[in-house]
Amino acid sequence: MGLARPVRDMHYVYVLQSEKNAMMYTGCTTDLRKRFKLHQSGQVASTKGRGPFVLIYYEACQDKHDAFAREQYLKSGPGKRYVKNRLKRFLSLTG
């Protein structure tokens, strides 16, 4: 069994929580730090006016299609329950 291919071009699925209204936003990107800054500065249409945000969860994938499939899952009903269950201790402290 060989080693996995080198880590590069990772795709990140992330969940942000608005400090304004506690709503969660799920997205996907190849540059998590840059994308987070864009959300914070109001440059992402889907979250404009909802910030500031806290990055509460992320996953890294080597395959773009896997990442986008995971994003779609986390946006679904079962996916939202997964995130809330996964972060139940954190969410109970913040909300």
**What are residue 32's phi and psi, to 5 degrees?**
-65, -40
Q: What is the mean pLDDT of residues 24-38?
A: 96
- For the chain, give every domain's residue range: 11-94
Q: Is the dihedral of CA 63, 78, 43, 39 positive or negative?
A: negative
Question: What pLDDT sits at residue 92?
Answer: 76
| CATH assignment, 11-94 | 3.40.1440.10
* Higher-confidence position of 89 and 35: 35
How many angstroms separate the CA atoms of 51 and 42, rounded? 7
pLDDT, tens digit (0-9, with 9 covering 90-100), for 53-95: 999 999 999 999 999 999 999 999 999 999 999 998 887 766 5
Question: What pLDDT sits at residue 90?
Answer: 80
Q: What is the mean pLDDT of residues 3-25?
A: 85
